[in-house]
Structure 1
């Protein structure tokens, strides 16, 4: 593994830790290139999928404490090649508010496949394929 690949893996791991701690503002923005694009492919939570720029990512992060009391990412597998990182993770989150028929305090779980393209030590593209467990 090259130094760039090791650095990219470490950056993505640190990014997931920041998400776990509900990072916002500069604490989260530091992981992204100014022209970042995050693509979420259709899934049960977001049937139409979506695309987000940096402003949208930061705005959504501000909402997290109102929705989730905790979340965690357990890395299942990871790999880096040049400026790309692929990561598989198991996600779990405890709801602050009810979600449909799921009561507050419940734990939601999902399996994530995330693909990152980095430039100059920052995430430039993130593509998520999220598979939520039944609720």
Structure 2
């Protein structure tokens, strides 16, 4: 089961990289899903989202980032939890901080996914962005 969850987490990351948003994410998340994003340069405080808020955030994100890519450095599994270490790059659709539309942002992510019955039930994001302010 652990390897299957790693495959599912990588499939999810690829779908997000490919621009899947909103309802297109339903195949990956359980209806009870919960996401926590810890403070970073974009999010100044802990943000907790249910499934509807996760999908809404993905739609809003598409208005800011036109193209994104995750380079998976390592995937770890322990029981029903998968940890993805990745380098994220995104091309801005709008100006942000000192960056112009069309510029690239970069971040180093650690994402923890907890699975139940092949779906994400809990996700924790630790996003370390290169300074764009």
TM-score range, shorter chain: over 0.9
The CA distance in 1 between the partners of 2:21 and 2:85, in whole Å, is 23
* Aligned counterpart for 1:107 among listed residues 94, 104, 115: 104
Which runs of 5 or more residues in structure 2 are unaligned? none
Alignment-derived partner of residue 97 in structure 1 = 94
Structure 1 runs (4+) greater than 3 angstroms displaced: none
Q: Does 1:5 align with 2:7?
A: no
The root-mean-square deviation of aligned C-alpha atoms, in Å, is 1.1
* Aligned counterpart for 1:18 among listed residues 11, 15, 20: 15
- 8 Å contact kept, 1:87–1:113: yes
Q: Does 1:31 align with 2:31?
A: no
Alignment-derived partner of residue 46 in structure 1 = 43
TM-score (norm: length of structure 1): 0.93
Q: How far apart are residue 50 of structure 1 and its match?
A: 0.3
The CA distance in 2 between the partners of 1:41 and 1:77, in whole Å, is 20
The CA distance in 2 between the partners of 1:71 and 1:107, in whole Å, is 9
The CA distance in 1 between the partners of 2:62 and 2:112, in whole Å, is 25
Alignment-derived partner of residue 68 in structure 1 = 65
Which runs of 5 or more residues in structure 1 are unaligned? none
The number of residues matched between the two structures is: 132
